[in-house]
């Protein structure tokens, strides 16, 4: 076999080594300067999130080391071993080496087993659920296309009240939680698969119809007053991207007051519609209103007797908007499928308006309200 | 005797022009048609990708009339890219190369081979015809999880989803037939001397890929049939309110679709395992270790499917986490073997090698960011976010697509007799490499920050910059196709004539003419190692009576042997 040992100028090794070193320096600088922070999770806000974030840091450090080592080796080989015009004879025909094969099988095996063990250990903490639910705040999260409802239960698991609107800002649902107390969430869906996801909790769990998933977390005490953005993370249909919710962390006292108020509202008997106010009937079924046009007198309050005939996980409401279809004038709390409510609206000046389900703003759930 | 004379009883000849392409059973022509057909679907899938990226460039709904059409766009993008581009493109490269590499005249079942191919455009037309139906094409993602893919009012009531099912069953049948064909070809059609452990790695990866295809594809077909029954015949396999189970579909679906990832990656690994040794003038480091690693990936590949389902709450987490971590080991072995093939070699930076190095550097990232998701608690944070989108594109684009372009540049001279232009090839690579990283690296940041995948709009303004960057990168990838297409066009007309063996190749396809004649070989060199053409070139064949370069013999024999020596590329 015609091979020749290679004699190469030392300058080549210096150049190749320099480039590899430069790569290492750049990676180090990116992280040292803080520019690498966007590769790290957002600030964890729960006990579980701290656990996951710490695990992430370990995995990231190992991953970065492997990346720099192997990528460096590739770049070194590519730069160092260019074929030169003088390379006529073949390089040494190395067919392999059993020792290095064993080494680069064993060492990675040890590394991944280590990662598996610390992940498993961490998983047991993240997935832990209290055996005694009376010490937790029990919340049922019910996901439906394209709305979240959060049911609050008492210590015995009895239904207290349901929060159907976001607590702050936009979205299609919201939950309030006390800091420092374990929260036990039960997930239910009656239509398709959704996923409960809050980025700052570093956690998501699928909401699977026909199956109840549970998880727990405790929000850090110093997060009281914070609002966390959450959203559905499993494709669930046309308005999947709009299925936001917010999680508002409160001090224990604030939460208790908030919940008491929610229960009070839920138990309050609805005041009867002002006598003489006209009552219009609207029904929703299969994500569609049964009427497309309504007519009321100008400058007089009116009532819509709204019935939701869809499955219980699907909520609807009837908002009055300007004729542009986007500017909201009057809104109502959404009601779950299988229920009925008298929505009371204030007097409107004469004109043409839209009535629309804010949760399903599709053509089938939009109609024209004429006020004259 | 240094060569085996193969003399078919009748001298075959190709028919002329279009008729030949429509009726051919020649594995080389079918392979080329696979490549062209897959490339057309790559362009179609790419247009959908650009639509998606354009929509996401800035917050708000801009180019789509509503969110549903956006859902159709990403669903069809992924379905086309996976089932009509990556899988058939690699099957096409295998179709062209495998019989040549083992010294066979054709595939074992040439007519079945033609049937496998022709099912693909038909499947593609079925899939895309969903856009013409009321309700549009399938919009439940390429995974089409029920109940979303069921016939419910707010789910997938239209026929687009049924067309998706029919198309996938058709394409799956094509895959199974192709897989059986490869297995029989590799086991029964090898030339004398071509033992299993002298087969090129490309052939080994196609062997393992075919085993995966034949074992796994019938399983997804069962999921598709169940979904069809649910939708159209009153079934309730996946409808919980009628006694069905939604997660059952996911188990059956991923039992195929995870091995399918290896179907999409192993042949690309095979390509670069041919390219790296040739362009570094060294044998592949650890040939046998590489084969065992390939077989190991194939075997472990069947025990990791549920890592796509960690967040369902219906998976035995430690087992699937452990297996997912372990599958990194044989993949790492391959990575080290490739790098040590380059190590102390003499590297010639022709376009195939550059794309192969692109594969190494990008697939490494795709392997490392996958390890994060193998850790179940971290997966709770990352699952269904843009991190996963980044990961899968580093594997399937950074890995498979760079690998297949290495293969296209490597075998183009064998397919057509002409070399592709090196300068344009390098422009193609640089644009694609930079565009790829601009597009997909920022998705790590988006995913970890909390952006879910498959959303038509995003609320958080801090995600806008990364999204805009990704969109710019996407258009750069699209632009990289222009120099490639121009390169193919001018090279077919005016390209440098390749000769039999332009790269100083190792494997048998370089021992015949470019393009090869019908039935491939008139004589074969002695096969005494995994590099028979290398051995012949360097006079290393045992009892080498002739020992001379075979390039001098083969073309002469071909001229004598064939009246019509028009190759696959010549008909255009």
B388-438 tens-digit pLDDT: 999 999 999 999 999 999 999 999 999 999 999 999 999 999 999 999 999
Gap between the Cα atoms of A170 and B383, Å rounded: 25
Residue B84 scores a pLDDT above 60 = yes
Q: Give the number of A-B residue pairs with CB atoms closer than 8 Å.
A: 273
Contact B377 A119 (CB under 8 A): yes
pTM of the full predicted structure? Answer: 0.90
Mean pLDDT along residues B36-59: 96
Partner residue opposite B376 with nearest CB, options A70, A119, A191: A119
State the smallest CA–CA distance between residue A29 and chain B in angstroms.
18
Mutant choice from B378, B441, B457 vs A, greatest count of A C-beta within 10 A? B378
Q: Quick: pLDDT tens for A301-339.
A: 899 999 999 877 788 889 999 888 778 888 888 888 888
The single-letter DSSP state of residue B59 is: S
State residue B283's pLDDT score.
96
Q: How far is CA B159 from CA A74, B127, B402, in A?
A: 50, 11, 36
Partner residue opposite B332 with nearest CB, options A108, A211, A231: A108
Contact A52 B380 (CB under 8 A): yes
Residue B9 scores a pLDDT above 60 = no
Gap between the Cα atoms of A102 and A106, Å rounded: 6
Gap between the Cα atoms of A131 and B329, Å rounded: 39
Please say whether the beta carbons of A221 and A235 come within 8 A. no
Given the candidates 3.40.50.2020, 3.40.50.300, 3.90.1170.50, 1.20.210.10, the CATH classification of the domain at B23-524 is: 1.20.210.10
State residue B332's pLDDT score.
95
Contact A204 B371 (CB under 8 A): no
Q: Flag the least confident range among A12-21, A287-296, A351-360.
A: A12-21
Task: Name every chain B residue with its beta carbon within 8 A of the beta carbon of A67.
Answer: 364-365, 368
Share of chain A above pLDDT 90, in %: 57
Q: Quick: pLDDT tens for B499-523.
A: 999 999 999 999 999 999 999 998 8
Count CB atoms within 10 A of the CB of residue A331. Answer: 15
For residues B219 and A162, which has the higher predicted lDDT (pLDDT)? B219
State the smallest CA–CA distance between residue B362 and chain A in angstroms.
9
Check CB contact of B331 with chain A, cutoff 8 Å.
no
Which residues 31-60 of chain B have a CB within 8 Å of chain A? none
Contact A104 B325 (CB under 8 A): no
Partner residue opposite A234 with nearest CB, options B343, B384, B540: B384
State residue A136's pLDDT score.
95
State residue B359's pLDDT score.
97
Q: Which of B482, B513, B385 is nearest to B443 (CA)?
A: B385
Residue A270 token pair: 């609805």
Mean pLDDT along residues B532-537: 94
Which residues 350-389 of chain B have a CB within 8 Å of chain A? 357, 360-361, 364-365, 368-369, 371-372, 374-378, 380-381, 383-385
Q: Which residues contact B448 (CB under 8 A, 6 or more apart)?
A: A38, A39, A40, A41, A42, B381, B382, B385, B387
Which residues 261-320 of chain B have a CB within 8 Å of chain A? 280-283, 285-289, 311-314, 317-318
Using the Cα atoms of residue B182, residue B215, residue B231 and residue B160 in order, give the sign of their dihedral. Answer: negative
Residue B340 token pair: 């040590």
Residue A84 token pair: 């030169």
| Closest residue of chain B to A120, computed from CA coordinates | B318
Q: How far is CA B89 from CA A48, B175, B228, B509, B529, in A?
A: 44, 12, 28, 19, 29
State residue A265's pLDDT score.
85
B90: confidence class by pLDDT, cuts 50, 70, 90: very high
Check CB contact of B336 with chain A, cutoff 8 Å.
yes
Residue B473 scores a pLDDT above 70 = yes
Residue B367: asked if its preceding bond is cis (omega within 30°), the reply is no
Task: Name every chain B residue with its beta carbon within 8 A of the beta carbon of A217.
Answer: none
Gap between the Cα atoms of A33 and A30, Å rounded: 6
Contact B152 A211 (CB under 8 A): no
| Closest residue of chain B to A123, computed from CA coordinates | B377
| Closest residue of chain A to B446, computed from CA coordinates | A38
State residue A7's pLDDT score.
58
Q: Which of A189, A199, A200, A184 is nearest to A236 (CA)?
A: A189
State residue B436's pLDDT score.
97
Q: Which residue has the tokens 């059956």?
A: B252
Q: Which of B520, B511, B517 is nearest to B554 (CA)?
A: B511
| Closest residue of chain B to A232, computed from CA coordinates | B452
CA atoms within 13 A on the CB side of A192: 27
State residue B308's pLDDT score.
96
State the smallest CA–CA distance between residue A144 and chain B in angstroms.
11
Q: What sections of B160-236 are H helices per DSSP?
A: 160-188, 201-232
B562: confidence class by pLDDT, cuts 50, 70, 90: very low
Partner residue opposite B348 with nearest CB, options A38, A71, A83: A83
Q: Which residues contact B178 (CB under 8 A, 6 or more apart)?
A: B91, B95, B113, B116, B210, B213
Residue B557 scores a pLDDT above 60 = no
Q: Which of B345, B387, B342, B354 is nearest to B368 (CA)?
A: B387
State the smallest CA–CA distance between residue B342 and chain A in angstroms.
6
Count CB atoms within 10 A of the CB of residue A208. Answer: 28
Contact B450 A232 (CB under 8 A): no
State residue B550's pLDDT score.
42
Contact A39 B364 (CB under 8 A): no
DSSP for B112-135 reads HHHHHHHHHHHHHHHHHGGGGSTT
Q: Quick: pLDDT tens for B325-344.
A: 999 999 999 999 999 999 99
Q: Which residues contact B202 (CB under 8 A, 6 or more apart)?
A: B94, B97, B98, B101, B267, B270, B271, B273, B274, B507
Residue A282 token pair: 């609207």
State the smallest CA–CA distance between residue A346 and chain B in angstroms.
32
State the smallest CA–CA distance between residue B440 and chain A in angstroms.
13
Mutant choice from A1, A105, A288, A325 vs B, greatest count of B C-beta within 10 A? A105
Q: Quick: pLDDT tens for B232-289.
A: 999 999 999 899 999 999 999 999 999 999 999 999 999 999 999 999 999 999 999 9
For residues A137 and A8, which has the higher predicted lDDT (pLDDT)? A137
Please say whether the beta carbons of B449 and A38 come within 8 A. yes
Q: Which residue has the tokens 């039935």?
A: B519
State the smallest CA–CA distance between residue A96 and chain B in angstroms.
4
Share of chain B above pLDDT 90, in %: 86
Residue B543 scores a pLDDT above 60 = no
Count CB atoms within 10 A of the CB of residue B158. Answer: 16
Using the Cα atoms of residue B269, residue A79, residue A100 and residue A111 in order, give the sign of their dihedral. Answer: negative
| Closest residue of chain B to A77, computed from CA coordinates | B343
Contact A59 B357 (CB under 8 A): no
State residue B35's pLDDT score.
97
Question: How many Å separate Cα A315 from the centre of its chain?
Answer: 20
Gap between the Cα atoms of B53 and B51, Å rounded: 6
* ipTM tops the 0.95 cut: no
Q: Which residue has the tokens 């590739």?
A: A74
| Rounded to 5°, angle at Cα B568 from B562 and B570 | 85
Partner residue opposite A244 with nearest CB, options B385, B449, B459: B459
State the smallest CA–CA distance between residue B565 and chain A in angstroms.
34
Q: Quick: pLDDT tens for A252-299.
A: 999 999 999 999 988 887 667 667 788 889 999 888 899 999 999 888
State the smallest CA–CA distance between residue A348 and chain B in angstroms.
31
Contacts of the segment A222-225: beta carbons below 8 A, 24+ positions apart: A222/A179, A223/A45, A223/A179, A223/A249, A224/A179, A224/A249, A224/A250, A224/A251, A224/A254, A225/A249, A225/A250
User: For helices A47-80 and A10-32, what crossing angle results, to 10°?
Assistant: 160
Mean pLDDT along residues B460-481: 95
Q: Which of A193, A283, A289 is nearest to A233 (CA)?
A: A193
Gap between the Cα atoms of B136 and B74, Å rounded: 13
B540: confidence class by pLDDT, cuts 50, 70, 90: confident
Counting every residue written for chain B, the total comes to 572
Contact B372 A95 (CB under 8 A): no
Where are the strands (E) in chain A, listed by range?
A: 137-144, 147-153, 159-163, 174-178, 182-189, 194-198, 203-207, 213-218, 227-232, 244-250, 279-284, 293-296, 302-308, 315-316, 319-321, 328-330, 335-336, 339-345, 351-356, 366-371
Q: Flag the least confident range among A23-27, A293-297, B440-444, B504-508.
A: A23-27
Domains of chain B, residue spans: 23-524
Residue A199 scores a pLDDT above 60 = yes
Gap between the Cα atoms of A128 and B538, Å rounded: 66
Please say whether the beta carbons of A230 and A198 come within 8 A. yes
Q: Which residue has the tokens 């988006």?
A: B446
Partner residue opposite B375 with nearest CB, options A55, A108, A190: A55
Q: Which residues contact B310 (CB under 8 A, 6 or more apart)?
A: B317, B320, B321, B373, B376, B379, B380, B383
Task: Name every chain A residue with its beta carbon within 8 A of the beta carbon of B139.
Answer: 238
Q: Which residues contact B382 (CB under 8 A, 6 or more apart)?
A: B372, B373, B388, B447, B448
Contact A105 B333 (CB under 8 A): yes
């Amino acid at each position: 076999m015609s091979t020749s040992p290679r004699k190469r100028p030392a300058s080549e090794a210096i150049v190749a080594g320099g480039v590899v070193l430069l790569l290492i320096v750049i990676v180090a600088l990116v992280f040292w300067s803080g520019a690498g922070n966007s590769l790290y999770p957002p600030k964890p806000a729960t006990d579980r999130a701290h656990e996951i974030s710490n695990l992430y840091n370990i995995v990231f450090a190992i991953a970065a080391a492997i990346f720099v080592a192997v990528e460096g080796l590739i770049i070194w080989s590519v730069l160092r071993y260019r074929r030169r015009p003088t390379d006529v004879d073949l390089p040494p025909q190395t067919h392999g080496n059993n020792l290095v094969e064993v080494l680069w099988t064993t060492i990675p095996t040890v590394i991944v087993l280590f990662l598996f063990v610390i992940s498993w250990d961490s998983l047991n903490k993240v997935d832990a659920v209290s055996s005694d639910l009376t010490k937790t705040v029990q919340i049922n999260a019910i996901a439906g296309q394209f709305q979240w409802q959060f049911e609050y239960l008492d210590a015995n698991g009895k239904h207290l009240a349901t929060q159907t609107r976001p607590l702050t800002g936009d979205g299609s649902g919201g939950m309030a939680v006390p800091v420092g107390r374990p929260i036990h969430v039960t997930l239910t869906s009656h239509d398709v698969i959704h996923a409960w996801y809050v980025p700052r909790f570093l956690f998501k769990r699928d909401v699977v119809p026909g199956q109840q998933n549970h998880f727990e977390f405790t929000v850090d005490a110093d997060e009281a007053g914070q609002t966390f953005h959450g959203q559905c993370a499993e494709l669930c249909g046309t308005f999947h991207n709009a299925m936001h919710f917010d999680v508002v962390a409160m001090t224990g006292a604030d939460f208790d007051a908030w919940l008491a108020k929610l229960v009070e509202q839920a138990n309050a008997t609805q005041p009867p519609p002002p006598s003489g106010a006209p009552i219009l009937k609207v029904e929703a079924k299969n994500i569609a209103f049964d009427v497309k046009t309504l007519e009321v007198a100008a400058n007089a309050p009116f009532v819509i007797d709204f019935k939701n005939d869809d499955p219980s996980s699907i909520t609807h409401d009837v908002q009055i908007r300007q004729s542009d279809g986007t500017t909201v004038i009057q809104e109502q709390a959404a009601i779950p499928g299988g229920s009925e409510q008298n929505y009371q609206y204030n007097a409107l000046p004469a004109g043409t308006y839209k009535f629309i389900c804010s949760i399903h703003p599709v053509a089938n759930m939009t109609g024209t309200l004429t006020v004259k | 005797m240094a060569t085996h004379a193969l003399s078919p009883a009748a001298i075959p000849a190709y028919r002329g022009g279009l008729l030949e392409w429509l009726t051919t059973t020649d594995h080389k022509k079918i392979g080329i048609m696979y490549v062209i057909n897959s490339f057309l679907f790559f362009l179609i899938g790419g247009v959908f990708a650009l639509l998606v990226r354009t929509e996401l460039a800035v917050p708000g709904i801009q180019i789509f009339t509503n969110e549903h059409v956006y859902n159709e766009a990403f669903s069809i993008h992924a379905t086309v890219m996976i089932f009509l581009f990556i899988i058939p493109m690699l099957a096409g490269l295998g179709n062209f190369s495998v019989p040549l590499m083992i010294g066979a005249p054709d595939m074992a079942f040439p007519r079945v081979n033609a049937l496998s191919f022709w099912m693909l455009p038909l499947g593609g037309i079925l899939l895309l015809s969903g856009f013409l139906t009321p309700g549009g094409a399938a919009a439940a993602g390429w995974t089409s999880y029920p109940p979303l893919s069921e016939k419910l009012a707010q789910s997938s009531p239209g026929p687009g989803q049924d067309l998706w099912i029919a198309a996938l069953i058709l394409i799956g049948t094509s895959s199974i037939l192709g897989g059986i064909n490869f297995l029989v070809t590799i086991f029964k059609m090898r030339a004398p001397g071509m033992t299993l452990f002298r087969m090129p790695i490309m052939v080994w990866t196609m062997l393992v890929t075919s085993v995966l295809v034949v074992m796994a594809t019938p399983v997804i077909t069962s999921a598709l049939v169940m979904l069809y029954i649910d939708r159209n015949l009153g079934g309730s396999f996946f409808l919980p309110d009628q006694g069905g189970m939604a997660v059952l579909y996911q188990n059956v679906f991923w039992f195929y679709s995870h091995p399918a990832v290896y179907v999409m990656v192993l042949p690309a690994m095979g390509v670069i395992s041919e390219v790296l040794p040739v362009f570094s003038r060294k044998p592949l480091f650890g040939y046998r270790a590489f084969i065992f690693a390939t077989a190991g990936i194939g075997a472990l590949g069947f025990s990791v499917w549920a890592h796509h389902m960690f967040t369902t709450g219906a998976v035995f987490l430690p087992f699937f986490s452990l297996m997912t971590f372990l599958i990194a080991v044989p993949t790492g072995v391959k990575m080290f073997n490739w790098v040590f093939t380059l190590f102390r070699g003499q590297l010639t930076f022709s376009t195939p090698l550059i794309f192969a190095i692109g594969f190494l550097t990008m697939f490494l990232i795709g392997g490392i960011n996958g390890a994060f998701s193998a850790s179940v608690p971290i997966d709770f944070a990352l699952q269904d976010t843009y991190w996963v989108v980044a990961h899968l594109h580093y594997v399937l684009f950074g890995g498979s697509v760079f690998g297949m372009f290495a293969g296209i540049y490597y075998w183009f001279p064998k397919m057509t007799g002409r070399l592709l232009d090196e300068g344009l090839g390098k422009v193609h690579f640089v644009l694609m490499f930079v565009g790829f990283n601009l597009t997909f690296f920022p998705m790590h940041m988006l995913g970890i920050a909390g952006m879910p995948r498959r959303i038509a709009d995003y609320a958080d303004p801090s995600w806008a910059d990364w999204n805009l960057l990704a969109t710019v990168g996407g258009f750069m990838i699209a632009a990289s196709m222009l120099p490639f297409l121009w390169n193919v066009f001018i090279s077919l007309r005016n390209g440098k004539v390749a000769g039999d063996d332009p790269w100083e190749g190792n494997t048998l396809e370089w021992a015949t003419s470019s393009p090869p004649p019908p039935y491939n070989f008139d004589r074969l060199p002695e096969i005494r190692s995994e590099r028979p053409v290398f051995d012949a070139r360097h006079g290393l064949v045992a009892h080498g009576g002739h020992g001379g370069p075979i390039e001098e013999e083969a073309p002469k024999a071909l001229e004598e042997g064939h009246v019509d020596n028009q190759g696959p590329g010549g008909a255009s």
